[in-house]
Amino acid sequence: MTNLPSANSGKSALEIAITAVEEAGRILLAHFGSKIQVKHKSKGNLVTDADILSEKFILEFLQDEYPDFDILSEESNSSTSLSGFAWIVDPLDGTNNYTFGIPFFCINIALVKDRDILLGVTYDPVRKELFHAEIGRGAYLNESQIQVSKESSLQSSLVGLDLGYSQERGEEMLQVANRLWGQVHCLRAMGSSSLGLAYVACGRVNLYLHRYLFPWDIASGLLLIREAGGEVTDWQGRPANFRDTEIIASNSQLHREFLAQFGQKQKPE
Ligand code: IPD
Ligand code: CA
Ligand code: CA
């Protein structure tokens, strides 16, 4: 495990990420259920004042503690070059759930260096569930180490998925869901892809699928699942990185079974 630089306050990068998501969680809860300003970014894709307030706090806090690190964050025009150490931030994952009063949303912060994800934190402020992982050190839900499920058959699996904000990719996912429907125990449209991934890491969801995600949706979840013994690939079966938009996340056995039936052939170079 790379030794991560300490923050200006002397705290570790993990402590900083945890403090940031917990405080952002307080901000989100303070506005949850109240009338807040909502804007439409694209079809089905909202941003609220709560996203903005949460992001403002997180970015200022991270910049104070680590002024030299890049930041890629969903709602701001922050750096996208990501050279050296960089934070990847989703200040509110599950904005639609949040806006409609469904208490299932979270905050993500990951620290990456080049293509490596060094730490990931996903926090559900409603349930006070903090998922965290550092590369090579396992994945945790609050104080307990977590593992992906041991389920080995699709027939008995709870499969989580989401449709995302691309019409075309959403329709593709609906076709997959249609084919899957008779072959699994049940399907769940989660409304928060990041909690879907965190739930794969702790074994609550057996398999999670998506076809149109962004780095802030998946960077933390990728590390959580790998550190919990699971597998995350694209739909051709190649190990996923945080810039991939399409992912299949599960334990290795179910992953293999799903890929054999639903995977796509690799395109020739
Ligand atoms: C979205 C959620 C949703 C997924 C979308 C994401 P947001 O994130 O994770 O479940 O289907 O693709 O963009 O907009 O709520 O941060
Ligand atoms: Ca998101
Ligand atoms: Ca978001």
144-201 per-position pLDDT tens digit: 999 999 999 999 999 999 999 999 999 999 999 999 999 999 999 999 999 999 999 9
Q: Ligand 1 atom closest to Cα of 45?
A: 14
- CATH code of the domain made up of 13-145: 3.30.540.10
Strand ranges, E, within 135-230? 139-141, 144-145, 158-161, 186-189, 207-210
Report the nearest-CA residue for atom 15 of ligand 1.
Answer: 94
Q: How far is the CA of 13 from the centre of ligand 1 (A)?
A: 26
Q: Ligand 1 pocket check: which of 106, 108, 165, 194 to mutate, most ligand atoms within 8 Å of Cβ?
A: 165
Q: How far is the CA of 164 from the centre of ligand 3 (A)?
A: 12
The closest-lying atom of ligand 1 relative to the alpha carbon of residue 93 is 16
CA of 1 to the centre of ligand 3 (A): 29
pLDDT at 218: 98
Does the domain at 154-262 match CATH 3.30.450.20? Answer given as: no
Atom of ligand 1 nearest to the CA of 190: 10
For a substitution probing ligand 1, which of 54, 213, 214 has the most ligand atoms within 8 Å of its CB? Answer: 213
Q: What's the CA-to-centroid distance between 121 and ligand 1, angstroms?
A: 17
Q: If you measure from the C-alpha of residue 160 to the centroid of ligand 2, how many angstroms do you get, rounded to a whole number?
A: 15
Contact (CB, 8 A) for 161 and 189: yes
Angstrom distance (rounded) from CA 88 to CA 113: 11
**Which of 208, 202, 172 shows the shortest CA–CA distance to 187?**
208
What residues of the chain score a pLDDT lower than 50? none
Rounded Cα gap, residues 4 and 16, in angstroms: 12
How far is the C-alpha of 153 from the C-alpha of 157, rounded, in Å? 7
Ligand 3 centroid to Cα of residue 251, in Å, is 26
Is 193 touching ligand 1 by the criterion CB < 6 Å?
yes
CA gap 186, 158 in Å, rounded = 5
Q: Which ligand is nearest to the CA of 215?
A: 2
Instruction: Domain ranges for the chain, please list them.
Output: 13-145, 154-262
